Amino acid sequence: MTPETETARTDQTPFYATPAGVWAIVALWGLSHLLLRALATPVLGTDDMFETVLVQTLEPGYMLRQPPLYEWLLFSAQQVFGPGIWSALCVKYSLISVAALFLFLIARKAISDPRLAALCVFSYSLYYQFGWNLHEGVTHTVVLTTACAASAFFFIKALETGRLGFYLLFGLAAGTGLLGKHSYPLFVLALLLAAMSDRVWRNRLRVAGLALVPLAALLVYSPYAFWILNDGLTLLASVSDTMGVSAGEPHARRAAQGLGRLAFGLIGFSVPLVPLLALLFWQRYLGRRHAATPAVSDVARLCGRTVLAMIVLTALLIAVTGATYVKERHMHPLLLLLPVFLFADLERFAFRRHWRWFGAVVLALVAVAFLARVPGIAAPDRFWCGGKCRHMKPYADLKAPLARLGAADATLIADDGYTGGNLRVLFPGARVVTKAIAARTASRDKCFFIWEEGDAAPAIPAAQRYAGKAFWDAAAPLSSVYMTGAWPHLWKAPDWRTTWWGVAELSADDPICR
């Protein structure tokens, strides 16, 4: 391609295929989902409710099971938007738009056509975990995804240019990854193994640059590292319990179970993106079409080898540790760069009409995923939203009666995380405690224990039910009462479904209240 041709092609690049365009489109996609959810219901859903209880104060660390970067970001957002769904969604979709930008910058290095590189990034919405599950769940994984995308880009830039500045940026991105999830180091190791296994990239590695990476990463990670050292070196035991490596089953059985879950997780995560590519571009995979160029670009090859290295490293780790806590929603770093490699490979075969079909499918599925969320909001019965429809539970009906009791500035002890997180949304000034999260703020003059009773009207007195619900050595309450909330529905009667909660006032001197 001549310089003149390249200049003409750059001039003709549509806005959607530029870095600013890709970021804007993904940000707009996130904003549309944010507004749909936040304007319809303020209720916190999966994961968000737990985090909202956790970040009542800003701490260098919150738990050994997860690093604190997500909590730091959420705490910062809550200073602007308050402790509610707006804060959680702003953090989530902001991070996703940044991740999309970095993925596009990588794709542009691997794929010569900017329009195809943009379509590659938009196609991530065909990963089920991105296109659907992301909207109601996912917290720390969003940080991990963004850190992995940034790390891969800065690593590639460091290899291409040899500049120490990009190695430094790679190290800083690695530090954010370490603060995102404990599994992040596998991604850095996979990048390094992919580069060292490739003659082109191996010769471009700089020892001085690589020495900078851990120094920069440790600088970013140091507040949490200091917290771990002060809190006690119990991280290994905590991770072991979480990953299921402390179970009593034989090691071989646990390893086989973990590897099986890894295989199913990889398949489940890939749907429907990978099957759709195989279906539309079957000629390439059955050898019925000849490539215009003999091989993918160096960057695409590095992406493909990184994916392979991540899968192998994860399998080895499972085999060695016998970990069984392996789920589809853990596959983000393993398959993050797979679309870049697949699109770069398919570009070699000069498909044209097929890409238009694929783009239409992406657009259609994005629209379907958005519209499919509407019925579960407008008509939150089990037919439309399935499961427990927690995102529409009528916590707001608790606000007035609890406020009359003095809950706005009290200690509120919740029986479960969903109740606890949504109580903090109702009463930002209260001190919220759950079974799993002890409060770090000072005790209050009033104290209440609140538990969810269910959809059926309670058949026994609240005081008697409280005695069975309390998760500590409980003294008799000063008073107890039931409260109820009515679920919204577009066409059903106002009382079509109700949820009951029990409220017991405790002495402020009770140990659980202090």
Q: Per-residue DSSP letters for 448-510?
A: EEEEEEESSPP-S-HHHHHHHH-SS-PPPPSEEEEEEEEPP-SSS-TTSSEEEEEEEEE-TTS
pLDDT in tens, 133-143: 888 888 999 99
pLDDT for residue 2: 42
Tokens in use for 485?
Answer: 């909330």
Q: Are 404 and 357 in the same domain?
A: no
Element (H, E) at 153: helix 140-161
Nearest to 390 by CA among 368, 419, 425: 419
Q: Which of 87-101, 179-193, 332-346, 377-391 has the lowest mean pLDDT?
A: 377-391
Residue 378 maps to a domain: no
Rounded-to-integer distance, Cα 187 and Cα 193, Å = 10
Q: For residues 120 and 242, state if they share a domain.
A: yes
Mind listing the pLDDT tens digit for each residue in 456-498? 999 999 999 999 899 888 889 999 999 999 999 999 998 899 9
Q: Tell me which of 342, 373, 404 is where a domain ends.
A: 373
Residues 190 and 287 in one domain: yes
- Helix spans in 271-412 (H): 273-280, 282-285, 298-321, 332-335, 338-347, 353-371, 373-378, 382-385, 399-405
pLDDT of 245 > 70? The answer is no
Q: Return the closest-CA partner of residue 60 out of 51, 52, 69.
A: 69
Count of domains in the chain?
2
Tokens of 199: 């003659």
Using alpha carbons, select from 125, 511, 183 the residue that is nearest to residue 330.
Answer: 183
Residue 241 pLDDT class (50, 70, 90 cuts): low
Last residue of a domain, one of 373, 408, 430: 373
- Is residue 387 one of the residues assigned to a domain? no
Domain identity same for 368 and 397: no
Q: Is the pLDDT of residue 234 over 70?
A: no
The answer for residues whose C-beta is within 8 angstroms of residue 293's C-beta and 6 or more apart is 348
Task: Verify that 39 and 82 share a domain, yes or no.
Answer: yes
Same structural domain for residues 200 and 308?
A: yes
Measured torsion, CA atoms of residues 11, 15, 19, 20, in degrees rounded to the nearest 10: 120
> What's the rounded mean pLDDT across residues 370-393?
86
Examine residue 174 and state whether it is found in any structural domain, yes or no. yes
Highest-scoring range by mean pLDDT, 60-69, 175-184, 378-387: 175-184
Rg (CA), the chain: 25
Question: What is d(CA 345, CA 304) in angstroms, rounded to the nearest whole number?
Answer: 10
Indicate whether 64 belongs to any domain: yes
| Residue 359, domain extent | 15-373
- d(CA 54, CA 432) in angstroms, rounded, equals 9
Note the pTM of the prediction, 2 decimals. 0.92
* Structural domain includes residue 40: yes
My answer on whether 67 and 156 are in the same domain is yes
Residues 360, 497, single domain; the answer is no
Q: Is 472 exposed, middle or buried (0-12, 13-18, 19+ CB in 10 A)?
A: exposed
H or E, element range at 7: helix 3-11
Q: Domain ends where: 343, 373, 403?
A: 373
Burial 384-413 (b: 16+ CB within 10 A, else e): bbeeebbbbbbbebbbeebeeeebbebbbb
Other CB atoms within 10 A of residue 464 CB: 11
Lowest mean pLDDT among 223-232, 392-401, 448-457, 469-478: 223-232
Rank 242-246, 448-452, 471-475 by mean pLDDT and report only the highest: 448-452
The verdict on residue 5 lying in a domain is no
**Per-residue pLDDT tens for 246-277?**
556 788 898 899 899 999 999 999 999 999 99
Q: How far apart are CA 68 and CA 88, in angstroms?
A: 15
Domain identity same for 364 and 453: no
Asked if 135 and 34 sit in the same domain, the reply is yes
Q: How confident is the model at residue 388 (pLDDT cuts 50, 70, 90)?
A: confident
| 338 inside domain | yes
Would you say residue 52 has pLDDT above 70? yes
Q: Looking at the structure, do residues 173 and 209 belong to the same domain, yes or no?
A: yes
Residue with tokens 């000063």: 478
Q: Are 212 and 337 found together in one domain?
A: yes
